[in-house]
Structures are given as C-alpha cells and as structure tokens.
Structure 1
Amino acid sequence: MPKVKINNVELYYEVKGSGNAIVFTHGASWNHRQWKPQVDELAKQYKTITWDVRGHGQSSLPKGKVDSEDFSKDLIGLLAHLNVKQVHLCGLSMGGHISLQTAIRHPKFVKSLILIGTPFTNTYNWFEKLFVPINRWSSIFIPMRIMAIIQARMLSKFNSNNKQYIKESVTSIPLNHWIRIWHAVSTMESGDDLHKINCPTLILQGDHDTMTERQQREMAKRIPLSKLVYIKNAHHATNLDNPSQVNNEIINHLSQIEAKLQ
C-alpha cells in the first residue's frame, strides 16, 4: 500500500496506467475508491492517480485544527513525490474545490480541470449563509453511522451499488476527525479567484443534483475557458451514478487538449 509523508501527513495513493497524468480527488467523507469506474477505463490511456485526502480513507490526520489550505499543498507535495510536472485535475464536490484551489494557487502544475458537482463557496446565497453554519454545528452531534445511512439513501437512487460504498467510507472516519475536517471544508472560499483560472475547464453537473447546480452554472460563466455539460440520470454521486457518460466526457476533454498541445 503506497504511502508518503507530506506536510506531516501520511497520504495514501494509487497510480495505475501510463501516459499523461490525471489526478482524481474524492468528495468529503469518501475516499479514493470513489473513482474505480474512471480508473478502470482511463488507465488504459493515461496515468491515473487517486489519493485519500488527509483524514479520509487510509490517510492520517494530525492533531489540531484542519486548515483547508493544506489540501492543495498536500496535492502538490504528492505530485512532487511522483515527479509529475503537469497534470489534469478531476474532483467531485470537496475534491473539485481542492482541484479548483490548486489551479488558482499553483497554475503551472495544472493542464486542465474537470469539476464535478463542485462548489466554489459556502456563502453563495442566503440559504447557504444560514444553513452551512447550522450544518457545521449539528455535525458535532450526528453519529457517523447515521450520517452514512442518510448519505447512502439519498445518493443511491440511480445506482444502488453506491449504498455500500458510501456506508463503508463514511463510517471509516471517526466523528472527532470528521468535525475538524468538515469545519475546514465548509469554510473553503474561492469566489474572488475564479477569473484567475486560465486552463481549460470541464464542468460536469448531474441533472438531478440540486446541491451544486447554481454554483456550477455560475462557475461556467466566470471561468474563462470553461464548458458545462449535464450528466443524465445522476445526482451528487455523479461519477458513480452514470460512469459511462462521465468517462466519455472526460476522455473527450483530455483528447481535445492533448491534440492542441501536439
């Protein structure tokens, strides 16, 4: 099991395939296994890199406050460890926001972005300004087992196989870790920096995902080289709900970029 110590964290990662590199970053409370349908297909043509964000899966979490700035620093450290100079970044939800912030803070490393169900702020409208702090506070009292059941039920309507994966990934995180992780994730903000993204950006939106649709449409307007595509029959677990369309969109996106660079 490959691990590397970066920024005082033991990060778990997997590398499969060869060629131009693409890093997949999972959503909050999930882990690298989220991307199996993408790795199985894309590793035939590309070097696929999946990893567990600090505090998730098999990666460790140091004591003390979790700083969301460390997420992108961890990712850059992992690229350095793997001697990857430039990369395509793909992420869902939290993983998309980490990818977004990496492109903003470390643009020379990023060839392109693929953002799936990705928020760029936690204060987009009055509802989020009210609800997110309440959600952050209530997470202190909700057992991970209960959160796992709620998540699994909500995000398994289009693919029943999601249920077991979600339950296993969510319950693997201790509640005291999750409270610190979620505080960091739910305070990430990138609204003032979207114009700084100068790489081609593919935005994939599940057609039944009301959680992030407004923000994804807004990103498509504000990120210069961006394209918004709706994924059919998909909720927030978009890449698992409809892996076939997601894979096709990613491959088309990468192929177009690589063709221009030749």
Structure 2
Amino acid sequence: MKVQINGIELFYDIKGAGEPLLLVAGFLCDHAYWSLLMPSLISRYQVIRVDNRGMGRSSAPDSPYSLKQMAGDIAALLDHIGIDKVHLAGHSMGGQIAQELVLAHPEKVQSLILLSSLAKGDERFNSIIETWGDLLNNVNLKLYEKVVLPWIFTDEFYSIPGMIEGLIEFAIKYPFPPATHTLYHHSRAILDFDTTDRLKHIHCPTLVLVGKQDVLTPIKFSEQLAQAISNAKLLVLERGGHGFLVESPDAVASAILKFLGSFTPTFTK
C-alpha cells in the first residue's frame, strides 16, 4: 500500500495480528529484507514494514535526505494508519532511523530493537559508507553487489555453493532497484548521523542485537549503544555477520520474540 506523506509516496505492508511491530530496513534494502523472519513474527504480532524514502516502491526524490526526516516519514505513517504505539525494530541504518523516531516521539514506541546498528560511525565505517554512496556512479549493479556483500556475510555463508551468486542474481533482477542518487543521499545521511549525546534520553526497554562476526558494524558499536541507553540489554549472536537477517533468520527471530515476550514494566538489564 502507498500513502502520500511529507511530500512523497511511502510504501508500507501490514501482515499478522496482535500488538504492532514496526520493522525498518537499512541501506540498500527495502521492506523485503525482513522476509525470512516474517513467518515467525506474524504468528504473534501485527507486523508493519516500510520502504524508506528512496527505496523500493517509495518515492526517491533527488535531494538530500536525513535519517531524522525518514523517522518523520514513519511517524506520519503511524498517524495515518491510526496506530498509537509500536514495538520498533531497525536494522543497520534502519536502527539509526529507529533511534531518531524514539527520540522525537517516545510516546509512539513501546520497546526498541536495534540490530547491527550504531550511534556514530568511526573512520573506517565512514570511509566504507562514503564509497558505497559513490560507487554505483562508476560500476554496474552486479559489480556493486560483489564489492558490498563481503562486508555483509560471513566466510561460512560464502562457502555455501551458489548462495552468493544467487543473491547477486536476485538483486540484478529485483523489480525495484535503488536509484544511484538514492544510495548517495542515504550514505550522506548515515555520515551525518550522531546520537551519541542523545542516547541517554531513550528510556523504553531496548534490545541491542549484533552478530559476533559482523565486520561492518562490529560489536563495539552495539556495546556503545547498550551502555548509553539506560534500559538496554545487549545480545551477541554466535552465528552471523551484518546480514544475519538473511544468514541466521531463525536465531534473529527467536531473539526478537524472546525479548518482546519477556519484558515487563520493570524490565532491567
């Protein structure tokens, strides 16, 4: 479904029944990135997925974006569909958008799940993201994926015959590919992002989840989030890297469901 919000068309998808759970995807991804978790999640929750501005079936204006702006898009979407409060989960850049949403609208967020995310990039991370924002101007999508995927998946995943080739083929044939300017604007929005001094204002129950083999957003980023958010719990999954939504979907879904099913108003670390 699409709705006119903040000067753009925003695509969203709702499945399942129960308390609302909103999922926000990251850089280079749209709502479909959560697909392997959906059977588990919709068995207990009303799951809302959204295509961030610039991605999938949402509008992709060729103008600067900010993650605060994208959080504003989601807040407006919740108002439009009449949902007052959600459990909120974001992966990578989606986790950064989720931070902005809970900081701007704490009344809308019942609990927060930050997967493979960060408060601020270091020099190496920023260099990678800057390059990814520029790269599609210079190479085709197949080569782009070949450059990006080693940062997303583990050695073990690469060793599965045909797996990476299949993902690249899927990306090339995907009917809603990202525009070159979208990746540039998203990358710059990530580079401009910094919640380091604002995380102390997040008070809802929070799960910070990361794969042990994540080389793009390493464990130290998640440790920083968990230490700065007063009501946060850190969980490191033994298997999987940055792309653990694809590589270890059952483990990720299980961690999400356990967290959502267990916290109470007296939730503590």
Say whether 1:210 aligns with 2:215.
yes
Q: CA deviation at 1:18?
A: 1.1
What is the match of residue 236 of structure 1?
A: 242
Q: CA deviation at 1:100?
A: 1.2
Q: 1:252 aligns with which of 238, 249, 258?
A: 258
Once superposed, what is the RMSD of the aligned Cα atoms?
Answer: 2.5
Residues 56/134 of structure 1: CA separation in 2 closer, same or farther (3 Å cut): closer
Q: Is the 8 A contact 2:151 2:216 kept in 1?
A: no
What is the match of residue 64 of structure 1?
A: 63
Query: Over residues 103-130 of structure 1, what are the superposed CA-to-partner deviations in whole Å (9 max), with x where a residue is unaligned?
Result: 11111100111111002113x3x54566
Residues 141/170 of structure 1: CA separation in 2 closer, same or farther (3 Å cut): farther
Q: CA deviation at 1:42?
A: 1.1
What is the match of residue 188 of structure 2?
A: 183
Residues 188/167 of structure 1: CA separation in 2 closer, same or farther (3 Å cut): farther
What is the match of residue 152 of structure 2?
A: 155
C-alpha distance in structure 2 between counterparts of 1:220 and 1:170, whole Å: 37
Letter in 1 for 2:152: L
Q: Is the 8 A contact 2:57 2:176 kept in 1?
A: no
Q: Is the 8 A contact 2:90 2:96 kept in 1?
A: yes
What is the correspondence of 1:87-102 to structure 2 with a 5 Å cutoff? 87-102=86-101
**Number of aligned residues:** 258
Residues 164/144 of structure 1: CA separation in 2 closer, same or farther (3 Å cut): closer
Q: Is the 8 A contact 2:87 2:111 kept in 1?
A: yes
What is the correspondence of 1:135-154 to structure 2 with a 5 Å cutoff? 136=133, 140-154=137-151
Letter in 1 for 2:113: I
Letter in 2 for 1:155: I
Letter in 1 for 2:257: I
Residues 85/171 of structure 1: CA separation in 2 closer, same or farther (3 Å cut): closer
Q: Is the 8 A contact 1:152 1:164 kept in 2?
A: no
Letter in 1 for 2:253: N
Q: Is the 8 A contact 1:16 1:47 kept in 2?
A: yes
C-alpha distance in structure 2 between counterparts of 1:209 and 1:193, whole Å: 25
Residues 208/149 of structure 1: CA separation in 2 closer, same or farther (3 Å cut): same
Mark the runs of 5 or more structure 1 residues left unpaired by the alignment.
Answer: none
Query: Over residues 123-159 of structure 1, what are the superposed CA-to-partner deviations in whole Å (9 max), with x where a residue is unaligned?
Result: x3x5456665566556654444422222235434427
59-68 vs 201-210, which deviates more?
Answer: 59-68
SS of the residue corresponding to residue 254 of structure 1 reads helix
SS of the residue corresponding to residue 191 of structure 1 reads coil
What is the correspondence of 1:39-50 to structure 2 with a 5 Å cutoff? 39-50=38-49
Mark the runs of 5 or more structure 2 residues left unpaired by the alignment.
Answer: none
230-239 vs 86-95, which deviates more?
Answer: 230-239
C-alpha distance in structure 2 between counterparts of 1:230 and 1:238, whole Å: 11
Letter in 2 for 1:149: K
